[in-house]
Amino acid sequence: MPSYDARAIANEFIRRNGPHINQMKLQKLVYIAHGWNLAINKAPLIAEKIEAWDGGPVVRKIWNHLRDYGRNASDGLLADPFDSSTPYKAKLSDDEVAIIEHVWKKYGDYSGIELSEMTHEPGTPWSNAYFGGGRNTSLSQDDIQQHFIELALAGRDKAA
């Protein structure tokens, strides 16, 4: 499975939420979808590194795009800055769409701050990177994958 431009995955959540989703929430949903895809489909969802910023996991490419261009498509999506009629889009597999739907259903009602608090818990990939390597350190893909596998196993134990 390919890794996609993070802005295309961000657009998946903008389509579900509408254009008024704030950057913090958008960043966390992309990170969470990436984590669940690593755990379930055993492949990265996005091509970019995820960094440990003060506010939690951040994909710099999304942050920079919103800072420099905003939501430059007419429907509030992130689009090519040189052709705003072309929003970033990923040709997702059915398994990848299922991950995005799962993340939206499970986490879509949380605010950006609530999602950020979830990522700041001790032992999370963000806290391991932030306190182990410092601000803006990249989160380890292996750490992200293991964290979401543990979340899946904990959820399975609760259901049993």
Mean pLDDT by 10 residues, the chain (160 residues): 89 92 96 98 97 97 93 85 90 97 97 95 96 96 97 70
Nearest residue to 21 (alpha-carbon basis) of 97, 89, 104: 104
100/34 Cα distance (integer angstroms): 9
- 110 contacts 46 by C-beta, under 8 angstroms: no
User: How many domains does the structure of the chain reveal?
Assistant: 1
| Per-residue pLDDT at 19 | 82
Q: Model's pTM, two decimal places?
A: 0.94
**Secondary structure (DSSP) of 71-107:** S-STTS--EETTEEEEE------HHHHHHHHHHHHHH
In a domain, 110, yes or no: yes
Domain assignment present for residue 1? The answer is no
Considering the domain boundaries, does residue 141 fall inside one?
yes
Q: Domain containing 69: what range?
A: 6-159
Quote the DSSP letter at residue 128: H
